[in-house]
Amino acid sequence: MLPEEKGMTREEYDRDLMNFLRETNPDFILLAGWMRILSSLYCEQFGDITINVHPSLLPKFAGIKGDEVHQKVLDEEERYTGTTLHRVSAEVDTGETVLQRKVLVDETDTVESLRQKVQKQEVLGFCEFLERR
């Protein structure tokens, strides 16, 4: 991946990233643990082949990330959580859903235990997505 230069705007970084992607011409771009919001310019050019993973069953808990999602699941006493693979779009966590995998929330679950269960399903979700291609 490209190192981020200090002081670069999102658009500057994304332009460098897009130039790199044009050179490599990938079939798909999988974002796992990607904590950057991509610019609309990036989304216009590569959003259809860029698949992001989100640690909830979108549209629930869109716009929040990581352990914040798992805490919200516990706070709202959700019976299920999971993971969503979706195409990247200019609006955060609103791209077309390509796959969801559910996880049962146990009454003994903690943020840590939910994170572990969901991350396992994220990996399996990426595998399932790629097997379908």
| Number of separate domains in the chain | 1
72 within a domain of the structure (yes/no): yes
Closest CA to 63 of 71, 76, 54, 74: 54
Q: 104-130: per-residue pLDDT in tens? A: 999 999 999 999 999 999 999 999 999
CATH of the domain at 108: 3.40.50.170
Q: 22-36: per-residue pLDDT in tens? A: 999 999 999 998 888
Domain coverage including residue 127? 10-132
1 within a domain of the structure (yes/no): no
2 within a domain of the structure (yes/no): no
34 within a domain of the structure (yes/no): yes
88 within a domain of the structure (yes/no): yes
- Please say if 86 is a catalytic residue: no
% of residues, the chain, pLDDT over 90: 86
56 within a domain of the structure (yes/no): yes
pTM for this entry: 0.89
What's the CA gap between 73 and 62, in Å, rounded? 12
4 within a domain of the structure (yes/no): no
Mean pLDDT for the stretch of residues 41-45: 94
Q: 65-94: per-residue pLDDT in tens? A: 999 999 999 999 999 999 999 999 999 999
Q: Which of 54, 86, 101, 117 is catalytic?
A: 54
